[in-house]
Amino acid sequence: MGVLIGVVVGWFVHTAPIGQPTSARLARSPVAPVAVSDPAATGRDALSASTSLRWVYDQYARSADPSERSLAWHAWSVCVPSFVGVGGRPRAETSLGDGLPFDASRLARLVAMRTLWARCQDFFAGSPVQWLEEARANAERHRAGDLRSRGEQAVTAVEAGNGNEALALIGEIAQRHLPYELRDLSGLVGRWHRDAPRPTDALRDAVLLVVGCDFGMDCSAESELALELCAYNGACTGDLVERSLLAFPEVDRSAVNVARVALAEELRSGRFDAVRYFEPPAL
């Protein structure tokens, strides 16, 4: 079992993006937690609405919709390997402060970490062998693309030089107003133009990071994503918008607000043009 633990945890550590366990409309009222078995969570931002990330995973892991499957992956990767302890057993609550710096954000980070830890406990209800096998299977599914969102697939397509494929995926996201998928597209403008950066690239990527808040993503300070940014990055002040935009310190916040309103309106009206927004180099 030790070999399996090392392989699985090692894979997750080396593939999780910086600042996310795998990973903002202005602040809104937090969604009240619902019971693990309550299907009402599916009508809201399920990541924030459910008190159990296992419930989110079970609800969406076998969905026919890649957007929903990617939510399952997000729920899973919040918990593994962050809350895996020695011998593949779940970490004890008393160990959650280990490694956190003794600075002004320590208490808030510890509170956020405990909240996430509690939401992850249902993943560890079975034996270590059972969930480690599940971890192996999920790692393979993600590697194969089965648990990747359209946004992640668009990034992969750009990296591979398949610009037309990326634009088609972006078009699906825009047509369906998928909030987490829009967030996943943040960074793609800069990637597409990394050989010749433009002054507007960072602004457009910053807007993509937060425009999902206008389409149902919980962006309150108590949202799942806000908790993750606090626990793992030390960004504990303000709502999800404020915490997310710390990734773009050079971008003017008022410019983000103006551009966000414009992008949200284009998406709602069906006038969004992916080629005009991303301005990809010659395809």
Query: Of 31-35, 158-162, 238-242, where does mean pLDDT reach its minimum?
Result: 31-35
The four Cα atoms 215, 217, 220, 221 give a dihedral, to 10 degrees, of: -150
- Rounded distance between C-alpha atoms, residue 97 and residue 116, angstroms: 13
Mean pLDDT of all residues in 166-173: 97
pLDDT of residue 282: 67
What percentage of residues in the chain have a pLDDT greater than 70?
A: 84
Q: What is the mean predicted confidence (pLDDT) over 94-123? A: 95
At 42-59, the pLDDT tens digits run 345 899 999 999 999 999
DSSP three-state, residue 20: coil
Res 35: pLDDT: 30
Domain ranges, ordered by start, for the chain: 2-9+17-23+35-144, 162-278
Length of the chain as a residue count: 283
Question: What pLDDT is recorded for position 87?
Answer: 75
Q: How far is CA 191 from the centre of its chain?
A: 18
Describe the crossing of helices 66-79 and 150-159 by its angle, rounded to 10 degrees. Answer: 90
The percentage of the chain sitting over the pLDDT mark of 90, rounded to a whole number, equals: 72
Q: Which of these, 205, 201, 211, 148, lies nearest to 177 by C-alpha position?
A: 211
pLDDT band at 240 (very low <50, low <70, confident <90, very high): very high
Contacts of 104 (CB under 8 A, 6+ apart): none
SS3 34: strand
pLDDT band at 16 (very low <50, low <70, confident <90, very high): very low
Flag the least confident range among 53-57, 85-89, 212-216.
85-89
Residues 205 and 187 sit within 8 Å (Cβ to Cβ): yes
Inform me whether the pLDDT recorded for 23 exceeds 50. Answer: no
In this structure, which long-range contacts are made by residues 268-275, counting pairs with CB atoms below 8 Å and at least 24 apart in sequence? 268/177, 270/175, 272/174, 274/167, 274/170, 274/171, 274/174, 275/167
Residue 216 φ/ψ region, left for φ over 0, alpha for ψ in the -120 to 50 degree band, beta for the rest = left
20 has a pLDDT exceeding 60 = no
User: What is d(CA 13, CA 9) in angstroms, rounded to the nearest whole number?
Assistant: 6
Question: How does the average pLDDT of the chain come out, rounded?
Answer: 85
* Cβ neighbours of 247 (radius 10 Å): 18
* Rounded Cα distance, 233 and 269, in Å: 36
Helix axes 201-210, 253-269, angle to 10 degrees: 70
Q: Quick one: pLDDT band at residue 105, thresholds 50, 70, 90?
A: very high
Beta-carbon contacts of residue 125 (< 8 Å; ≥ 6 apart): 54
230: pLDDT strictly greater than 60: yes
24-33, 62-71, 197-206: which range is least confident on average? 24-33
So what's the pLDDT on residue 131? Answer: 81
Per the model's pLDDT, the better-predicted residue between 263 and 42 turns out to be 263
